[in-house]
Amino acid sequence: MERLRKLEQSVALAPPEAERIVAAFDRHFRTGTPAISDLERAAARLTELEAQRLAKLAALGARRTELEAALPPSLVVLTEQVEHGQRIQEALATRTTALGIFASRKQRLAKMARWVTFVRTSCETFSQAEVALSAARTNAIETQYREMYEAITRNPEVVPTLQKDDRSEGLLLRLERFYGLHDLSASTLLQESYRNALAISIFLSAALNHKGAANFMVLDDVTSSFDAGHQWYLMELLRTRIGRPLNSDGPQVIVLSHDGLLEKYFDRMASEGHIHHQRLQGAPPSGFVFAQTQDANRLRQSAEAALQAGQVEKASPLVRQYLEFVLLEVIRSVSIPVPLDFSIRDDRKMVQNCIDAITGMVETRERAGDLVLTQKQRADLKSILVPCLVSNWVNHYATASSSSLTPHVLLGVLDAVDDFAECFKYQCSCGGSTQPRFYKTLTAKRCGC
């Protein structure tokens, strides 16, 4: 329809007639469904209008030729020159505008080039400063992180080192020594636990040497790749050299872990007052999280509360854990020698094995005549406490018949466990106030009391 309208105007039809024809076609095609005859009629009209337009153009061309023939040649040339002059003027105006745009953009590009040069120079300067600072910090903590790494791994045959790239901020991990070999790549030779030991050593060294040292440090599952020995070495490093209170200038260290071996270590240290042990329970993030104090007293209190409520099945494993903890505490505190497999394998640290190790050494020192225990402590061990523990707990537990024990019997077992531990303590008044302390060994006290 638009094309029809333009053609009608180009052939100079009378406006009413043109409007009428176009409006008729437009109305007909916008309302209803046009037939094939309508389309053919529209096409014929389009062809007719196109022929009229071409005829008019031809007539205008002939008229122009007649006018040019009638005019003097100089006037024709002048007309063409005027036309060319107008075109040149328009071109000059366009060029002037383009030159202005070009100059503006050229200035902008020059400004951007200066910014690029500034940014590149700044990046290079800061990068060089960062490399120098990183190298200085790495060199400053090198001695310390090596000492920490050796304290954790206890393997002088594997000595990794960090090498700083002079042209970048990257650190290269190399092996200064590896079982007699020197200067090797660590990526294919150093196992995961050793890499983690080095990583935590570098982190701790950097944290201690940082000027704005934090008041606390959170370590999440840092022993996942360590065996039991390396776990213990790392925890001792954190306790004795890194964190408070033994390091008064150090941060408060918070260790998060789900490792059962570490739980025993935390229980032991919590009983000695070196560590505050909390068990987190709950179902985050949808549920609440509860914190519960975790130490040997917690085991005893939980077992006693369950027995007071008559819940023998719930209390039985807690009684066993408490008994095992106290027996191991006596072995450690009094320095009772044990077999090698007992010291390195948890499955050997059963209650009966602990009792056998303790009573066997007591009997040995008594025969040697240098047992430090009092006569009452010796008598209580032989005639009361050991028989009570063996008959009321060990035999039942070994035969899987602990469920037949009554709450009162198990409460008596808890009291017997406490009395058993007291047999290896004496009243010490060295600190000004009298308090019970474990003997240093079965033949000597810890002081001159």
Predicted local confidence at residue 391, as pLDDT: 80
CA dist., res. 178 & res. 158, Å (int):
5
Predicted local confidence at residue 116, as pLDDT: 94
pLDDT tens for residues 140-149? 788 888 899 9
**In the structure encoding, which two tokens stand for residue 259, read together?**
């490792």
pLDDT tens for residues 169-221? 667 788 888 888 888 888 788 888 888 998 899 889 888 887 666 788 899 98
Does residue 25 contact residue 42 with C-beta atoms inside 8 Å?
A: yes
SS3 (DSSP) at 13:
coil
Predicted local confidence at residue 269, as pLDDT: 77
CA distances from 38 to 41, 44, 338 (A): 5, 10, 112
**In the structure encoding, which two tokens stand for residue 410, read together?**
């198990």
For the chain, the domains span 2-70, 322-438
Amino acid at 321: Q
Cβ neighbors of 389 (< 8 A, separation 6 or more) are 323, 351, 355, 413, 416, 417, 420
What residue ranges in 214-372 does DSSP mark as E strands? Answer: 216-220, 252-256, 278-282, 289-293
Q: Shortest CA distance to 195 belongs to which of 208, 206, 185, 180?
A: 185
Does residue 255 contact residue 219 with C-beta atoms inside 8 Å?
A: yes
Does residue 441 contact residue 331 with C-beta atoms inside 8 Å?
A: no
Cβ neighbors of 34 (< 8 A, separation 6 or more) are 28
Placement of tokens 């225990």 in the chain = 373
Burial class (CB within 10 angstroms; exposed 0-12, middle 13-18, buried 19+) of 73: exposed
| pLDDT tens over the chain, length 449 residues | 454 455 445 544 444 555 666 666 677 667 766 677 777 777 787 788 888 888 888 888 888 777 767 767 666 677 778 888 888 888 888 988 988 899 999 999 999 999 999 999 998 888 888 777 777 777 778 888 889 999 999 888 888 887 766 666 667 788 888 888 888 888 788 888 888 998 899 889 888 887 666 788 899 988 888 887 888 899 999 988 888 888 888 889 999 888 877 877 887 777 666 788 777 767 777 767 666 666 667 778 888 899 899 888 888 888 888 888 888 888 888 888 888 777 666 666 678 888 888 999 999 999 999 999 999 999 999 888 888 888 877 666 655 555 567 888 888 888 999 999 999 999 887 766 788 888 989 999 887 66
Amino acid at 294: Q
CA dist., res. 56 & res. 61, Å (int):
9
Predicted local confidence at residue 362, as pLDDT: 92
CA dist., res. 74 & res. 142, Å (int):
98
β-bridge mates for residue 220, sequence order: 256
CA distances from 142 to 163, 192, 206, 410 (A): 10, 21, 10, 55
CA dist., res. 203 & res. 167, Å (int):
23
Q: Shortest CA distance to 152 belongs to which of 203, 91, 88, 96?
A: 203
**76 backbone φψ class: left, alpha, beta (φ>0; ψ -120 to 50):** alpha
Placement of tokens 């791994």 in the chain = 153
SS3 (DSSP) at 158:
strand
Does residue 293 contact residue 277 with C-beta atoms inside 8 Å?
A: yes
Predicted local confidence at residue 264, as pLDDT: 74
DSSP 8-state class, residue 345: -
CA dist., res. 409 & res. 395, Å (int):
13
SS3 (DSSP) at 82:
helix
CA dist., res. 230 & res. 151, Å (int):
9
